[in-house]
Amino acid sequence: MLRFLASMILLAGIAVGATANDEPRLFSAEDVFELEWADEPQISPDGEQAIYVRRSNDIMSDRTVSRIWIVDRDGGGHEPLLAENGSYRSPRWSPDGTRIAYMKSLSGRTGLYVHYLESGRDALLGTFEEAPSDLIWSPDGAMLAFSMAVKAESEKLVSAPKAPEGAEWAEAPRVIDRARYRTNSDGFIDLAYDHIFIMPAEGGTPRQLTSGDFNSSGSLSFTPDGEQILFSANRQDGWELQSREANIFAIDVASGELSQLTDRPGVEASPQVSPDGRFVAYLGTSNEREPFMPTNVFVMERDGSNIRNLTEGLDRRAGDLQWLSRREIAYTFQNRGENNIGVVTTSGDRRVAVQGIGGTTIGRPYVSGAFDAGEGGALVYTKGSAYRPADLFSFQSGRNRQLTTLNEDLLAHRDLGDVRSFTYNSSLDGLEIQGWMITPPGYRQGETYPLIIEIHGGPHLAYGPHFSDELQRMAAAGYVVIYDNHRGSIGYGSDFANLLKYKYSSPDDFADHMSAVDWAIDNGFADEDNLFIAGGSAGGIATAYAIGLTNRFNAAMAAKPVINWVSKVLTADSYIGQIANQFPGPPWEHLDHYWERSPISLVGNVDTPTMLITGEVDYRTPISETEQFYQALQLRGIPSVMVRIPDTNHGIAGRPSLLNAKTDYTLAWFGKYRVGQEEEE
């Protein structure tokens, strides 16, 4: 009896945490404003220093602000380099290491600047209406090249009569006549094409190199002699309706003459000229109509001849290609919930240089990360853990070293939920699936807890053992949280990813999720009377679909789901590629197929109280999807609420207060349907 009492007291001490202390031990909404992480690392040409973008959540403006910091290769000399008002991005070392070019946005305008390290002075080279991208230095350090959207004139349908001076007329109608007419981030877009520009690094007039009604942008690469810039574009007629086609071009900087280096079917992208100018490495993806296609590292001669796939058999999506030396190319690829830096030689020998980069997304545990390769094989990269967002790391002479500790001030003083990996077999076909479980802080073995299964988006994306604000807050509220890389996730090969071909959502991925739930129940973690399901985007689809197939969940939260694939593919910004690659044909030829994959087809079975959360200007999974499910649930009398986030697109947690609100609302909704819960203080 006495022992029992003692253990109760102990439990109370852990669970309530900090009633006696000054600071709470549980991770909370307030802490979101204290999180920081490293991104966009850049190593100096001599390898002695690195700069990176340090992101932190500002409690006054409710935004993530980005500043540029510098640090020595041994972790010393860590100090702010560019940290005035404004948001900084794309820092790029000049080839001689004396200057840094960067972009800064302030009050809605983006300026291109050069910072002189010795004097500490900054030169503004120009301010642009459309933000420049893909910034690079010419090899001699004299020029900067970048891409930028250039507005084009649509053919006018009518000319409006003139309003008298001082009149306040309604806005004129807007006419849209392009197949690609809106994007998730920008809404309805003005007609514009990306073009490549070049300008003197000491200031002057930008000169447009490319032209035509095509987008010429993406990763740019100078030839070592500085005479040409390589880039990838789809410059075919009818490009607007093609989703997987792009070729590599070289443009002569002096004459503007354009030459096409590749003409394979599919995408040839991100060309990078080797340091000696002999080879061009690029990322190649075939145009087969599969939901998932691997991306390989290819190399060819500078003139486009002798194309070779260097990563045959990798069966992953290679990305972020950079030359590490004259004959080595570094790239990223995902494997089993982690992002790695791979290196391949021009003769095709592969190795993994760094395992587990990441930490640059903080909301949910997506695989992420960034790196930069310096001369002599040095690397800097971002890396977090299940318990920390990204810090900056270096890899030099075979040794990894942590250069920053951005979150110890906060997270060292918080009891986070333990994150552990597990594997299980899907009840559908015995397929092995990888999952992770977060136990609540103060977890006691042998006790069961309410369970939330949280499903990732994509569906061709992946979660992993990475820090997640949202899931840690759920754990802090006393839930066991599980997440899985169900069939269709990436990082497990093409066959695994394409198991969902024409099957999203379906009883197949549903079985994977339910098997994960059963694993947590069977292993004594989860209380089977307290099961909850949540997910965003494709995870919202899976959530809405799941509650049409089972009534096991006490409540559900579907964020920004697709509810009806017919309307989705005809209203979303992603419609062209989605119809081509994820469906057997257009909806008017395959209605039954679209219908069967749609959660709305099963809404007649739903008995689960459901919350829907969506941004009002989401054009990826438009809010009209959410409304369909909400109205159907309301008509059926199922408890349901619709949470609409004003002025927000598909990135519904893009501002700290919104990241908080998403979790707060979800927990409040689940709290209403959590059974046997003791009153909280």
Partner 1 sequence: MLKSLFIAASVLSLIATPPLFAQAQPNSAAKASDQIGPNRTFTGQDLFDLAFATDPQISPDGDTIAYVRRQNDIMTDRAVNSIWLIDVESGEQRPFAGRNGGAFSPRWSPDGSRVAYVSTEGGSAQLWVKWLDGGEAVKLTGLPNSPSGVTWSPDGRSIAYTMLVKDDAPSLGSAPKNRPDGAEWADALEITDLVNFRADGEGELTPGFEKIFVVPATGGAPRQLTFGKYHDGGRLSWSSDGSTIYFSANRNPDWQTDPVEGDVWALDITSLSLTRLTTRDGPDFGAQVSPDGRRIAYLGFDDEGRAYENTELYIMDADGQNQRILTADWDFSVDGFGWDSDSRGIYVQYDERGETNIARIALNGSVRAVTDGVSGSGLDRPYTGGSFSVASDDTIAFTGGTATRPPEVKVSTGDEARYLTNLSASLMTTKSLGEVRAISVASSFDGQEVQGWLTLPPGYREGARVPLILEIHGGPFAAYGPHFSTDNQLYAAAGYAVLSANPRGSTSYGEGFAQEIDKAYPSQDYDDLMSIVDRVVELGVADPDRLFVTGGSGGGVLTSWIVGKTNRFRAAATQKPVINWTTQALTADGTGYFGQYWVGSRPWENPQKFWEQSPLSLIGSVETPTLVVVGSEDYRTPVSEAVQYYSALQLAGVPTALVRVPGASHALTARPSQSAAKASAILAWFERYAKGWEPSDPDADRD
Instruction: Choose between 28 and 345: whose C-beta lies nearer to partner 1.
Output: 28
DSSP 567-611: HHHHHSTTHHHHHHHHSSS-TTT-HHHHHHTSGGGGGGG--S-EE
- Within 26-65, the residues that bind partner 1 by CB under 8 A are 28-30, 32-33, 59-62
C-alpha 246/C-alpha 248 separation (Å) is: 7
Contact 557, 610 (CB under 8 A): yes
Residue 615 beta carbon to partner 1: minimum distance, rounded to whole angstroms: 10
The residue with tokens 């022992």 is 3
Residue 165 beta carbon to partner 1: minimum distance, rounded to whole angstroms: 10
Question: Residues of 171-208 as b/e, b for ≥16 C-beta within 10 angstroms?
Answer: eeeeeeeeeeebebeeeebebebbbbbbbebeeeebee
**Which has the closest alpha carbon to 131: 183, 174, 187, 90?**
90
- Within 435-464, the residues that bind partner 1 by CB under 8 A are none
Return the range that interacts with partner 1 (CB under 8 A); candidates 46-54, 120-128, 300-308, 623-631: 623-631
Residue 635 beta carbon to partner 1: minimum distance, rounded to whole angstroms: 5
Residue 162 beta carbon to partner 1: minimum distance, rounded to whole angstroms: 8
- A 10 A CB-CB count for 107 gives 6
Instruction: Choose between 494 and 657: whose C-beta lies nearer to partner 1.
Output: 657
Contact 115, 69 (CB under 8 A): no
550 binds partner 1 (CB under 8 A): no
Instruction: Choose between 312 and 589: whose C-beta lies nearer to partner 1.
Output: 589
173 binds partner 1 (CB under 8 A): yes
Instruction: Choose between 478 and 488: whose C-beta lies nearer to partner 1.
Output: 478
Return the range that interacts with partner 1 (CB under 8 A); candidates 96-104, 110-118, 189-197, 654-662: 654-662
Q: Judged by CB under 8 A, which of 76, 108, 161, 398 binds partner 1?
A: 161
**Which has the closest alpha carbon to 330: 315, 338, 320?**
320
Q: Judged by CB under 8 A, which of 10, 203, 668, 677 binds partner 1?
A: 668
C-alpha 151/C-alpha 502 separation (Å) is: 38
**Which has the closest alpha carbon to 338: 371, 369, 373?**
369
Instruction: Choose between 254 and 635: whose C-beta lies nearer to partner 1.
Output: 635
Q: Is 674 helix (H, G, I), strand (E, B) or coil?
A: coil
Return the range that interacts with partner 1 (CB under 8 A); candidates 235-243, 245-253, 275-283, 524-532: 235-243
Return the range that interacts with partner 1 (CB under 8 A); candidates 133-141, 203-211, 326-334, 665-673: 665-673
Q: Which two tokens stand for residue 595?
A: 């219908």
Helices 538-549 and 507-522: crossing angle in degrees, nearest 10, is: 80
Instruction: Choose between 120 and 238: whose C-beta lies nearer to partner 1.
Output: 238
- How many residues sit close enough to partner 1 to count as binding (CB under 8 A)? 86
Q: Judged by CB under 8 A, which of 174, 205, 305, 681 binds partner 1?
A: 174
644 binds partner 1 (CB under 8 A): yes
430 binds partner 1 (CB under 8 A): no
- Within 300-329, the residues that bind partner 1 by CB under 8 A are none
Instruction: Choose between 314 and 667: whose C-beta lies nearer to partner 1.
Output: 667
Q: Which two tokens stand for residue 225?
A: 């002699």
106 binds partner 1 (CB under 8 A): no
DSSP 528-571: EEEEEEEEETHHHHHHHHHHHH----SEEEEES----HHHHHHH
Instruction: Choose between 240 and 518: whose C-beta lies nearer to partner 1.
Output: 240
C-alpha 82/C-alpha 70 separation (Å) is: 9
Q: Judged by CB under 8 A, which of 153, 647, 679, 680 binds partner 1?
A: 647
Return the range that interacts with partner 1 (CB under 8 A); candidates 155-163, 197-205, 330-338, 396-404: 155-163
673 binds partner 1 (CB under 8 A): no
**Which has the closest alpha carbon to 72: 438, 394, 480?**
394
- Within 562-621, the residues that bind partner 1 by CB under 8 A are 564, 566-567, 569-571, 575-576, 579, 586-589, 591, 595, 600-604, 613
- A 10 A CB-CB count for 307 gives 16
How big is the CA angle at 403 (ends 402 and 404), to the nearest 5 degrees?
Answer: 105
189 binds partner 1 (CB under 8 A): no
**First and final C-alpha spacing in the chain:** 26
160 binds partner 1 (CB under 8 A): yes
Q: Judged by CB under 8 A, which of 2, 5, 20, 158 binds partner 1?
A: 158
Residue 567 beta carbon to partner 1: minimum distance, rounded to whole angstroms: 4
Q: Judged by CB under 8 A, which of 390, 640, 649, 650 binds partner 1?
A: 640
Q: Which two tokens stand for residue 271?
A: 């060309």
Instruction: Choose between 61 and 427: whose C-beta lies nearer to partner 1.
Output: 61
Contact 441, 476 (CB under 8 A): yes
C-alpha 224/C-alpha 374 separation (Å) is: 16
Residue 301 beta carbon to partner 1: minimum distance, rounded to whole angstroms: 33
Instruction: Choose between 62 and 225: whose C-beta lies nearer to partner 1.
Output: 62
Residue 678 beta carbon to partner 1: minimum distance, rounded to whole angstroms: 19
Residue 520 beta carbon to partner 1: minimum distance, rounded to whole angstroms: 25
Residue 639 beta carbon to partner 1: minimum distance, rounded to whole angstroms: 8
Residue 226 beta carbon to partner 1: minimum distance, rounded to whole angstroms: 39
C-alpha 20/C-alpha 225 separation (Å) is: 67
